[in-house]
């Protein structure tokens, strides 16, 4: 372990001096829940201003079309905010991808709207860890790299999307395209409070299964009805029984039904499926098809399936292991212990890894209790994580693909 060289030490000092805490407090004060388009527009403007300190072509990209199935079984277009895309030296011999998201899980009318300091010194607030703190870390690291001689032959793309928390349906194609030709990617989801990074990740698929039956009077002529609610429940039970051996299946909700004296003619089943391997995806798809076919036949209803496995599993392959080792080595030289552990969560790192580009997707701040009113960030981790990224980036810029 030789320790950081002069260029790396200068970059570390530059990264640590960035105004990250003030940025996090300002950004977290803006509600940018995925469905709050006004808040997302404000946040996109703030991020565009902040990231404009970097060279290159910065633009706000219109979201791709996306759909959702309503409680009435109808498929409708789903609105999203714009995504930020920055391209720097696209013809450089070594290029990386850096990604994050501006949206949070807290809608415009949520009670959790402001930051507050905790007794233990942590900063609590909506999105401080997931991931407005991570965005500040990313910017500080890239600004430090740009201020160093190591940037001259290094290019990169930055994608900050507006819909990660709901599956990145309007930005997945943008992420996939931006990953092309990159030697590695870093994504700024939060690490755990103790600094542990995400290792292998499973995948996820979300499905809306719509059952159309026939209404009838529940007392006078129930035999003429075809109960869509019962059919949807039958599918849910069949799918729940398919779980196991690396496949988690969660029937989460059924929309439908009405007055007690009417046989329901519509029901929408919502199901989340978590495969651990690519083989699990094929197995899950077969289970869904079989459950739908059997329930449709038994209850004499029509059933349609909407949805997909939008984030495939992300195992630790050889290239990702090398990238993790590169991050660990940078951490060791900075006195930052780095470890990782498998997780059932998913993120845009799954999408990036599916392109063949190695990615470490928890390069953000240390924190915890994300997606809750107790979300917090450890302020000292801002400088720590920015330094870790800066050294990692400089070494990849110098040495190429991990």
Report pLDDT digits (tens) over 342-385: 998 999 999 999 999 999 999 999 999 999 999 999 999 999 99
The residues near 23 (Cβ < 8 Å, ≥ 6 apart) are: 50, 132, 135, 136, 139
pTM: 0.95
User: Start-end ranges of CATH 3.40.630.10 in the chain?
Assistant: 6-201+315-399
Task: Give residue 2's pLDDT.
Answer: 64
Q: According to CATH, where is 3.30.70.360 located in the chain?
A: 204-311
**Beta-carbon count within 10 A of 20 CB:** 23
Percent of the chain past pLDDT 90, that is, above it, reads 96
Q: Mind listing the pLDDT tens digit for each residue in 160-219?
A: 999 999 999 999 999 999 999 999 999 999 999 999 999 999 999 999 999 999 999 999
Give the SS3 label for residue 216. Answer: coil
What is the structure's pLDDT at 246? Answer: 84
- In the three-class reduction of DSSP (H, G, I as helix; E, B as strand; rest coil), residue 185 is classed as strand
Q: Is the pLDDT of residue 5 over 80?
A: yes
CATH architecture of 6-201+315-399: 3-Layer(aba) Sandwich (3.40)
Asked: is 204-311 a CATH 3.30.70.360 domain? The reply is yes
Give CA–CA dist 346/204, Å, rounded: 7
């Amino acid at each position: 372990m030789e320790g950081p060289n002069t260029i790396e030490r200068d970059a570390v000092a530059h990264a640590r001096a960035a105004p990250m805490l003030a940025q996090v407090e300002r950004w977290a004060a803006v509600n940018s829940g995925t469905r709050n388009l006004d808040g997302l527009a404000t946040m996109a403007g703030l991020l565009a201003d902040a990231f404009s300190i970097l060279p290159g072509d910065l633009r706000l990209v219109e979201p791709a079309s996306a759909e959702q199935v309503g409680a009435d079984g109808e498929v409708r277009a789903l609105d999203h905010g714009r995504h930020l895309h920055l391209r720097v030296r696209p013809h450089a011999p070594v290029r990386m991808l850096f990604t994050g998201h501006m949206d949070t899980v807290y809608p415009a009318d949520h009670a959790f709207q402001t930051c507050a300091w905790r007794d233990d010194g942590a900063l609590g607030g909506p999105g401080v860890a997931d991931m407005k703190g991570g965005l500040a870390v990313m910017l500080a690291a890239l600004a430090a790299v740009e201020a160093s001689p190591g940037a001259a032959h290094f290019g990169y793309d930055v994608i900050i999307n507006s819909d990660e928390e709901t599956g990145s349906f309007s930005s997945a194609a943008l992420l996939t395209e931006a990953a092309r030709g990159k030697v590695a990617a870093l994504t700024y989801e939060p690490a755990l409070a103790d600094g542990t990074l995400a290792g292998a990740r499973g995948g996820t698929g979300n499905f809306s299964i719509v059952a159309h039956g026939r209404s009838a009077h529940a007392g006078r002529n129930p035999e003429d009805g075809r109960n869509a609610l019962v059919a949807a429940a039958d599918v849910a039970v069949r799918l729940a029984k398919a779980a196991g051996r690396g496949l988690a299946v969660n029937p989460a909700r059924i929309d439908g039904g009405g007055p007690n004296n009417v046989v329901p003619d519509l029901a929408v089943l919502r199901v989340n499926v978590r495969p651990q391997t690519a083989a699990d995806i094929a197995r899950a798809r077969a289970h869904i098809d079989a459950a739908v076919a059997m329930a449709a036949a038994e209850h004499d209803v029509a059933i349609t399936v909407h949805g997909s496995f939008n984030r495939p599993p992300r195992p630790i392959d050889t290239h990702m292991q090398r990238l993790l080792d590169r991050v660990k080595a940078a951490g060791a030289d900075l006195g930052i212990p780095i470890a990782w552990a498998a997780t059932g969560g998913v993120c845009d790192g799954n999408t990036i890894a599916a392109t063949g580009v190695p990615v470490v997707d928890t390069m953000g701040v240390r924190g915890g209790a994300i997606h809750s009113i107790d979300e917090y960030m450890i302020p000292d981790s801002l400088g720590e994580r920015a330094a870790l990224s800066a050294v990692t980036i400089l070494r990849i810029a110098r040495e190429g693909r991990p």
